Chains A and B, each alone.
Chain A
């Protein structure tokens, strides 16, 4: 293993985060705080309880997941797309490093950022609503798994994209709707039965449900199923990345 190369890529990517602190950390925290003010305080005060917890508290795991998902994809896709765009990818390709090392560097940095962000948002949430985490280990497990999985997914988008529009397209058109419809702000059990069945086709439901379970032990689907689906998506992303590097898709001629 070329650990120095992994470290170089990781630190390079993390340096980008600190350089763009406003965009990477502050702006997601501000937008999440707005959700708390609007949904938690203003609207939430008219909603008594959801499945035994106050509405403001109920939406915390969903909001954290919303940020972790979108930021993982944004960070990782931009991280690998940018060198492709400006041409500096030549250096990565000509360096004595394996594909696994490239992935660990880029995806590791993107996932680290969104995990840090998730924890910051959690801390911010604690300022607005009382928080109690029943299963902190499971909470972290879901957080890390989701961050890694969606950073891998973002990495794939970054390789696939050949323009800034495509880079934005999947997050905007697919991931954001799936997250909003995935039970960030409500329990899918609140949906009418037809919609409930459709909602279960949405992979994000399983992520949010599992994550919420680790906080309050309330879940839309079984926690085992949540974990299984998350791992399943991770494996799919890894398989795609393996294929990309094996064929050199959009990286090498």
Chain B
């Protein structure tokens, strides 16, 4: 199946000479949730702005479902709904008016039933006649999502959708996103919260200093880079790891009361059983043990830090 968004050789140089994007190539698959991760200033928002028509590209091209974003901007933009990072809303208009305005702006005929459904899905129906200025931050965020969905887009961009949103609401937002994906909408989200990408995304792209440094299925990424760690709290302090256990590459820490064993989840054999056996043979007893898996956050940090 052809990609729904195809970015090729895209670069963006600002008037100041700052190169915000450098030769970006990226395909977004139809119907997926794609998470774009990157530190502040990496180029996430610039990339989205260009795709949505808010900024002009310096070089390269973007096609939305085969429509070039510049030559066929009408066809391209009709397919996209955008929820920007900042809370940019009208103030004195009602929720209903602002969402209906967005629908009109995108050239869609009136459809009160659809707008009603969008507002209900986002728990905004009771507020439909309220002025936007009277709403809380979380509600304003949802109003912006409602505006983006008002014209029945096939692609939804969510730029930092849960920044500054409380935990409860964030979970609610994830639910909305999943419902949309189930309805066939392709979703591209940028986020600072790694757990968000880990929780939601089908695929993950990492952008740093204007370049895409990695695009991978989330599961594969976790597999490929995921490491597990076994921590043993020792009953008695030891001074050194016995030579008989050298091949496990154990690390002694916490002043000799803790042994750390790194192993690969992808491997058939983790080596845990034999390690525990060898420990007993060496006369080392432990009082407790715990295992932990490296999170996407660790993976991300190691990628971005790499020179």
Contact = CB atoms under 8 A, between A and B. Distances in A.
A and B assemble together: yes
Interface in A71-124: 86-88, 90-98
Contacts, number: 80
Given A252-B56, A253-B49, A5 B104 contact: yes
Contact of B109 (A4, A12, A86, A88): A4
A147 B88 CA distance: 30
A4 B52 contact: no
B74 A252 contact: no
Given A90-B82, A90-B84, A253-B14, A97 B55 contact: no
B141 to A, nearest CB: 14
Interface majority SS (helix, strand, loop, mixed), chain A: helix
Interface in B39-94: 49, 52-56, 73-78, 80, 82, 84, 86, 88-93
Interface in A51-83: none
Interface in A1-26: 2, 4-5, 7-9, 11-12, 15-16, 19
Interface residues of A, number: 26
A91 B105 contact: yes
A163 interface: no
B229 interface: no
Contacts of B14: 253
B151 to A, nearest CB: 9
B74 A96 contact: yes
A96 B93 CA distance: 22
Contacts of A192: none
Contacts of B97: 12, 15
A7 B74 contact: no
B106 A5 contact: yes
Interface residues on B, range: 35 or more
Given A4-B109, A96-B106, A252-B54, A86 B88 contact: yes
Nearest to B54: A93
Interface in A205-251: 248
B286 interface: no
Interface in B1-58: 14-15, 49, 52-56
A91 B102 contact: yes
B289 to A, nearest CB: 52
B107 A5 contact: yes
A95 B77 contact: yes
Contacts of A91: 82, 88, 102, 105, 147
B84 to A, nearest CB: 5
A92 B52 CA distance: 11
A4 B108 CA distance: 7
Given A2-B74, A19-B92, A88-B88, A95 B54 contact: no
Nearest to A88: B88
Interface in B131-151: 147
A68 to B, nearest CB: 26
A95 B106 contact: yes
Contacts of B103: 8
B101 interface: yes
A248 B82 CA distance: 20
A91 B87 CA distance: 12
A94 B53 CA distance: 5
A252 B101 CA distance: 22
B17 to A, nearest CB: 13
Contacts of A4: 104-105, 107-109
A9 to B, nearest CB: 7
Nearest to A251: B54
A15 to B, nearest CB: 7
A87 B86 contact: yes
Contacts of A97: 74, 105, 107
A5 B91 CA distance: 20
B77 A94 contact: yes
B53 A93 contact: yes
A88 B78 contact: no
Nearest to A9: B105
Which of A15, A86, A253 has most chain B Cβ within 10 Å? A253
Contact of A96 (B55, B77, B100, B147): B77
Nearest to B79: A96
B11 to A, nearest CB: 13
Most buried by A among B75, B84, B90, B105: B105
Contact of B90 (A5, A9, A88, A96): A88
Interface in B89-124: 89-93, 97, 100-109
12 contacts: A7-B104, A8-B100, A9-B105, A15-B97, A94-B82, A96-B73, A96-B75, A96-B78, A97-B107, A252-B54, A253-B55, A253-B56
Given A12-B97, A87-B88, A96-B76, 15 more contacts: A4-B105, A4-B108, A5-B105, A8-B100, A15-B97, A16-B92, A86-B88, A90-B82, A91-B147, A93-B52, A93-B54, A94-B80, A96-B107, A252-B56, A253-B15
Interface of A: 2, 4-5, 7-9, 11-12, 15-16, 19, 86-88, 90-98, 248, 252-253
- List 5 tightest A-B contacts by C-beta distance, closest first: A8-B104, A87-B88, A96-B77, A96-B74, A94-B52
